[in-house]
Amino acid sequence: MSLAAPASAAAAPAAVPATAAPPTLEVRGLRTHFFTRAGVVKAVDDVSFTVRKGKIMGLVGESGSGKTVTGFSVIGLVDPPGRIVDGEILFHGQNLARLSEEEMRKLRGNRIAMIFQDPMMTLNPVLRVDTQMIETVLAHEKVDKETARQRARDALGQVGIPSPDERLKSYPHQFSGGMRQRVAIAIALLHKPELIIADEPTTALDVTIQGQILFEVQKLCRDSGTSLMWITHDLSVVAGLADDICVMYAGRVVEKGTVDEVLDRPLHPYTRGLIGSVPSRNVRGKPLVQIPGMTPSLLNLPRGCAFRSRCPRADDACMSEPAITEPLPGREIRCVHPHLEGAA
Amino acid sequence: MTVYLIRRLMQSVLVVWVMSLIVFLGVFAIGDPVEILIAPDADQIERERAIIALGLDKPLWEQYFIFVQNALRGDLGRSFVFNEPALRLILQRMPATLELAITATLFAVVIGIPLGLLAGLKPNAWYSRTIMAGSILGFSLPSFWVGLMLIMVFAVQLGWLPSTGRGETAMLGGIQWSFLTVNGLRHLVMPALNLSFFKVSLAIRLTRSGVRETILQDYVKFARAKGLSPTRVIGVHVLKNIMIPVVTVMGLELGSTIAFAVVTESVFAWPGMGKLIIDSIYVLDRPVIVAYLMIIVFMFIIINLVVDLTYSFLDPRVRLGESKA
Ligand SMILES: Nc1ncnc2c1ncn2[C@@H]1O[C@H](COP(=O)(O)OP(=O)(O)OP(=O)(O)O)[C@@H](O)[C@H]1O
Ligand code: SF4
Ligand SMILES: [Mg+2]
């Protein structure tokens, strides 16, 4: 953090080129497979992306595309029968895939934090909120309990929980869903992590609360220089929140780039389909276009491009696995017939 | 909370009343104590006198009415055999049984929970399979047979442990206890172990299935994502959750352990309530049988109440009175 601070902290975010600060996280060729009785599920298969320092990277894809497994791979919580079989997870240049479990534990919740999808399930129902927060502080720092409690209280205040002193003594069931997610976020913030992996943290909440939390998270990242990997299937969330985007389909990255570029001009047929299926104010009254068909089973993916059976552009060329190409500068896609027509 | 307790109390009174009816009628149905108690060569007059003395000449409803009247004054009748108040007779034997049942439950917790934890965390390891196979034996082997085997191995062949009686006792709170002396403890180990077999198996199964279920929960993964040590994750986040069903069942089991210590007490000649009831059934000592059964009913009610209170203490989501009152 401190190394790059003078260069980037003061600079206007948009003016800094992508290469100015070394990335917080760089994932290269990640493969995480599940060795089930029915066969090998290639939940994550050759995934590469970068999370820039102090930026928000949106990881988008349909249900089952491997977003959560990617998140768990980064934080080292893939459980058997799953295993990272290949790839590098470079966190400030250090390959996390090679760390021991104990070294990884020291990073977790400390320098890398994760927020889960369902706030109703992430807090232990039989432990008080203060217990669950204080133990997190004590797991990584040798401080006395009172200091830890202080930290917990401050973190609750930071995420906008009123009268944090009282709330600390409550049990999770005494909180609403939105409040619980704030508690989870507060826990994630306790050690001022350099990277937060947020796995659809607002999907289970109603829209107003969702908006508040998105706003606060964005602000926190900007203020503290934290990098964020925001997992969602909701493109409109990514549009308003993220700097970069990475679109996953059936365990693979199919398109990535900056949010503005990708959303303004999607090159991959799948990304196009996703954008077409999002309700938006500009196109009110226009029927939404659904992507036909369903996500194929990861157990027996069709040969070649996994999107083939649903793609309007598919032809014989798609029968072999498309490689990653960079048809425009800074735009990587995995498709043999990208939407390049009408290029400027 | 108070409202809850009052409601529970009223339910309990109802249960006790219904049980007293059932018990009284049931015991009445199983035979005529006069046949057993009176010498076969007694003449008609002696017979009549005995029947009147025992109050058996009155109609059943009147006998029941007298029984209830006396019971409300704390008098559950006099033993036909010992000519002592039945209640006192049973209460004298109670500490021995309580001691046995509680030690057995303790064994179940101390042995069963760690083994269940092991089996739940590594379900495919050889030791987990061994533990689970063992628990099936614990469920299915008959208690008296296991008791005899224990005696054969540890008392007869190895000569390590005594096989009958309570051994030396020491006084605490006006009651004699075996667990206070070394000799008494040696006497206690085998019967308690025998009585705990079923419960150890139960604790293993409950703990194991609890662990298997709990470690898949999001909050356990989240606890790991916070960077907690495995010891803390298992010892606090997992264990605290599975303690709820385990404590409930173990607590409820305490009642049936006390009630069904009969077999173990007979095998090991342990002078508890169970042995007393068996002896009393042989001679159809009605007041003792009725009093025993009523005490067991009371005990179940109290244990259930205590378990419910503990439950609400362990699980913050259950606050008695808030939701139920
Ligand atoms: N423990 C497991 N065993 C076998 N397969 C698994 C396991 N966990 C995940 N998978 C598979 O990995 C694939 C990706 O799952 P993942 O949870 O990452 O999807 P996702 O993109 O997060 O979807 P969602 O939006 O529904 O959360 C799924 O097809 C799933 O079946
Ligand atoms: S490779 Fe072919 S099938 Fe796959 S997305 Fe591109 S055009 Fe469609
Ligand atoms: Mg997911």
So what's the ipTM on this one?
0.85
Mean of pLDDT values over A235-251: 89
Q: Which residue among A45, A68, A299 has the greatest number of ligand 1 atoms within 8 angstroms of its CB, and so is best to mutate?
A: A68
What pLDDT, on a 0 to 100 scale, did the predictor assign at position A4?
Answer: 40
Q: What is the pLDDT of residue A284?
A: 55
Binned at pLDDT 50, 70 and 90, residue A132 comes out as very high
DSSP 8-state symbol, A204: T
Q: What are φ and ψ of residue B161, in 5° steps?
A: -125, 145
Residue A151 reports pLDDT greater than 80: yes
Which atom in ligand 1 lies closest to the alpha carbon of residue A71?
Answer: 18
Is there a contact between A125 and B316 if contact means CB atoms under 8 Å apart? yes
Does domain B95-324 fall into CATH 3.40.50.2300? no
Residue A333, pLDDT above cutoff 80: yes
Q: Is residue A173 part of a domain?
A: no
Q: Does pLDDT of B222 surpass 90?
A: yes
What pLDDT score does B101 carry?
Answer: 92
Determine the atom of ligand 2 nearest the C-alpha atom of A318.
2
Which residue type sits at B188? Answer: L
CA of B208, closest CA in chain A: separation in Å? 18
Residue A183 lies in a domain: no
Average pLDDT, chain A: 83
User: Domain holding A49: CATH number?
Assistant: 3.40.50.300
Task: Considering chain B, tell me which residue range(s) the CATH 1.10.3720.10 domain(s) occupy.
Answer: 95-324
Test A128 with B316 for CB contact under 8 angstroms.
yes
In the predicted structure, residue B133 carries a pLDDT above the cut 70: yes
Dump pLDDT digits (tens) for B252-289.
Answer: 888 888 877 888 998 888 888 888 888 888 888 888 88
Task: Indicate whether A126 belongs to any domain.
Answer: no
Q: Which atom of ligand 1 is nearest to the CA of A295?
A: 29
Pairing of strands A244-249, A56-60: parallel
Q: Percent of chain A beyond pLDDT 70?
A: 89
CA-based R_g, chain A, Å: 21
Beta bridge mates, A60? A232, A247
Ligand 1 site, residue A176, Cβ cutoff 6 A: no
d(CA A76, CA A71): 9
Interface of B with A (CB under 8 A): 217-229, 232, 236-237, 240-241, 244, 314-317
Judging contacts by C-beta atoms under 8 Å, the chain B residues touching residue A171 are: 316-317
- Domain assignment of residue A55, yes or no: yes
B148: tokens are 């005899």
The rounded Å distance from CA A306 to ligand 2 centre is: 8
CA gyration radius, chain B: 24
**Is the model's pLDDT at A84 over the cut of 90?**
yes
Residue A65 pLDDT more than 70? yes
- Interchain CB distance below 8 Å, B241 and A125: yes
Q: Which residues contact B169 (CB under 8 A, 6 or more apart)?
A: B176, B177, B178, B180, B181, B184
- The alpha-carbon gap from A25 to the nearest alpha carbon of chain B, in Å, equals 17
Q: CB of A233 closer than 6 A to ligand 1? A: yes
Which protein residue's CA is at the shortest distance from atom 24 of ligand 1?
A: A63
Domain that holds residue A270: 23-104+227-344
pTM of the model: 0.79
Q: Does the distance separating the beta carbons of A118 and B218 come in below 8 Å?
A: yes
CA atoms within 13 A on the CB side of B27: 27
Ion ligand 3 neighbours (CB, 5 A) are A 68
Q: Is B317's CB within 8 Å of A171's CB? A: yes
Distance A334 CA to ligand 1 centre (A): 21
Domain assignment present for residue A17? The answer is no
Chain B positions touching A128 (Cβ under 8 A) are 316
**Number of structural domains in chain A:** 1
Which residues are bridge partners to A258 per DSSP? A244
* H or E element, residue A41: strand A39-51
Average pLDDT, chain B: 84
- Chain segment A210-228, per-residue pLDDT in tens: 777 788 778 877 888 889 9
Lowest mean pLDDT among A44-53, A108-117, A154-163: A154-163
The residues, ordered by sequence, that sit 6+ positions from A174 with a Cβ below 8 Å of its Cβ are none
User: Which stretches does DSSP call E strand in chain B?
Assistant: 170-172, 175-177
Q: Do A139 and B228 touch (CB under 8 A)?
A: yes
State residue B323's pLDDT score: 43
Nearest CA in chain A to B232: A135
Q: What is the pLDDT of residue A133?
A: 92
- Bridge partners for A41 per DSSP: A34
State yes or no: pLDDT of A234 exceeds 70: yes
Query: Residue A330 and residue A259: Cα distance in Å, rounded?
Result: 12
